[in-house]
Structure 1
Amino acid sequence: MSKPKGRHAKVRKGKGMARQVSEVFESLAHLIRAIGVLVDALGRWFN
């Protein structure tokens, strides 16, 4: 028997959502790293 199409679509949707969540976390990590570098540079500049 073949799998129902709706079920397959849900799996794809879930993977897409997981990818979006992963991209959001990756973007946040880049942002936090950039802020850390900026704070470090400013700290060295003022000292």
Structure 2
Amino acid sequence: MSKPKGRHAKVRKDKGMARKLSEILESLAQLIRAIGVLVDALSKWFG
């Protein structure tokens, strides 16, 4: 089998990019949630 050329190769690459982007967004959301929990705990601690 030959390597995919033209459109199909680009589509496959874009899907990979989209998956990478969604992974980054997901980890970013988890980070924000963790920071929120930490800030909440600290405000209770000092409040």
Which SS does the other structure have where 2:6 is aligned? helix
Code of the aligned partner of 1:22: S
| TM-score w.r.t. length of structure 2 | 0.82
Task: Report the RMSD for the aligned CA atoms in angstroms.
Answer: 1.3
| TM-score w.r.t. length of structure 1 | 0.82
Q: Paired residue for 2:15?
A: 15
Q: How does 1:1-47 map to 2 (within 5 A)?
A: 5-47=5-47
Q: Which has the higher helix share?
A: 1
Code of the aligned partner of 2:25: F
Give unpaired runs (5+ residues) of structure 2. Answer: none
- Residue identity over aligned pairs, in percent, reads 80
